Amino acid sequence: MDIVEKKNFFKAYKTVLEMLTDRGNLLPENLTLTYSQFEILYESNNLYIYLETNNEKIYVYFHTLVKSFAKKDFTSTLNKLKKEYGDDLHIIFVTKDKLNQTLSKDIVRMKQCESFVLKSLVFNITKHYLIPKVEIISTEEEDELLEVYNTTKLKLPRILLSDPLVKYYAAKSGNIFRITRPSKNSGIILSYRCVK
């Protein structure tokens, strides 16, 4: 197997753990792996993350096999996981290659599934120095914001559902992001964007 690919899966594994933490989940210590522990799981094609937290079951499936992830693989994996863990399972698929268009649309339509391409998780985009601090605000903060600025969600600047940050935080249409940028003149600048 390719050493570079194995290292990329290890980096993606660590990024997924950071992503789950940034989404507000508490992770048990046993999910943090050394590279040698990771190698054993990778070599045996047994690389996954299962987490029960905040009344939610999350399963992250890493497709490490040589063949590409097809509709047949998706259906069989989905059925197997739902049979084993129940219908309320939230599944995140991490694949080496970009999924075909039909499969991508099917996953987007399903509320309990997400997909990421390996190369998009090799580096945690929220750690990049050009990316400002981003957070989803609560519904109470949304109401207060809209009242203070006497506006509606439709009048706020938009951020698309396809944006990598929106996917990273698993934001839904209608969520509002607070973006905090440093400013030389005023210290910080707050801006808001609504997910469309």
φ, ψ for residue 89 (rounded to 5)? -80, 130
Q: Which fold has domain 3-123?
A: 3.40.1340
Q: Domain ranges in the chain?
A: 3-123, 127-195
Give percent of the chain with pLDDT exceeding 90.
72
- The dihedral region occupied by 92, where left means phi > 0, alpha psi between -120 and 50, and beta the remainder, is beta
- Give the pLDDT mean for 60-89: 90
The pTM score is 0.90
CATH architecture under which domain 127-195 falls: Alpha-Beta Complex (3.90)
The string of DSSP codes covering 126-163 is GGSTTSPEEEEPPHHHHHHHHHHTT--GGGS-EE-TTS
d(CA 50, CA 86): 13
Q: How confident is the model at residue 1 (pLDDT cuts 50, 70, 90)?
A: low
What does the pLDDT read at residue 40?
92
Q: Judge contact between 172 and 195, C-beta under 8 A.
A: yes
